[in-house]
Amino acid sequence: MGRHGTIAGRKEKQDAKRGQIFTKYARLITVAAKSGGDPDYNIALKNAIDKAKSINMPNDNINRAIKKGTGELEGETYEAISYEGYGPGGVAIIVETLTDNKNRTSSQMKHYFDRHNGNLGVPGCVTYMFERKGYFLIEKTEKISEESLMEAALEAGMEDMAAHEDSFEIYSSTDDYESVKSALKEAGFELLESDIELIPNTTTAPSTEGELKSLTKLINALEDNDDVQKVYHNCSEDLSEED
């Protein structure tokens, strides 16, 4: 994703779409559990469960999703497919999906891009603009010392940190993701978000208000689709402020 929104904006968005997010995380857990149902021996499953618990997803939902993945309960078979293209203003977009119907999802992705003045491209057309990194979001409060936060993260392998009005964003290599995550937790920092994400190497922004509004509508339409897990873009503007 490009420019991240404010903490308040993120929480408001999560609260409004909590049921839909439960569905997305349940799919993520089910797919991860196919490699083993014990999170102590399956890092992908552990991370998926942590994400689900961060939005207070009920344990019954989590356990049911795990059992679908391990085959203890009947469930759908999901396929991971990524879509790439450009939104209004030339903003690069990558959409990661988990779908049980490739034809349906592909048709929907093309519809969203066409409807909102974007262009759905071929695999690899914008991937080179992004790099996969560990990402951590921490809310800025009076109790948090930026110096102590940086020290804890640096010792564990942090590559970069950005300070915003209400948050800190920390980045690491994918190899150091788990060590940085553990170090931050052990130091007492609450992680509002932690994941392996695609981070843009360069950013851009639409040149007109109309393009910015069209881009926001495209991103929102993509995120509202149940098959979509993540939407990444390299827009430097905070699109949540354009809702």
Q: What is the CATH number of the domain that holds 230?
A: 3.30.70.980
| CATH code for the domain in which residue 11 is found | 1.10.10.200
2 within a domain of the structure (yes/no): no
Residues 99 and 207 in one domain: yes
- Per-residue confidence (pLDDT) for residue 17, from 0 to 100: 75
% pLDDT > 90, the chain: 81
Mean pLDDT of 32-53: 94
Residues 59 and 12 in one domain: yes
- Looking at the structure of the chain, the number of domains it has is 3
pTM of the model: 0.88
Give residue 165's domain range.
130-200
Between residues 206 and 2, the one the model is more confident about: 206
Give the long-range contacts of residues 200-203, CB within 8 A, separation 24 or more.
Answer: 200/2, 200/92, 200/129, 200/130, 200/232, 200/233, 200/234, 201/129, 201/130, 201/131, 202/129, 202/234, 203/2, 203/3, 203/234, 203/235, 203/236
Residues 120 and 141 in one domain: no
For 122-170, the pLDDT digits (tens) are: 999 999 999 999 999 999 988 899 999 999 999 999 999 999 888 999 9
At a CB cut-off of 8 Å and minimum separation 6, what does 198 contact? 1, 94, 130, 131, 132, 133, 230, 232
Residues 152 and 178 in one domain: yes
Mean pLDDT of 170-191: 94
Residues 134 and 229 in one domain: no
Residues 137 and 155 in one domain: yes
In the listed set 20, 43, 70, which residue is the last one of a domain according to the structure? 70
Poorest-pLDDT segment among 24-33, 109-118, 187-196: 187-196
Mean pLDDT (the chain, rounded)? 91
Residues 84 and 138 in one domain: no
- Per-residue confidence (pLDDT) for residue 128, from 0 to 100: 96
Residues 144 and 25 in one domain: no
Between residues 243 and 17, the one the model is more confident about: 17
- Per-residue confidence (pLDDT) for residue 52, from 0 to 100: 93
Residues 52 and 155 in one domain: no
The Cα 46–Cα 206 span in angstroms is 38
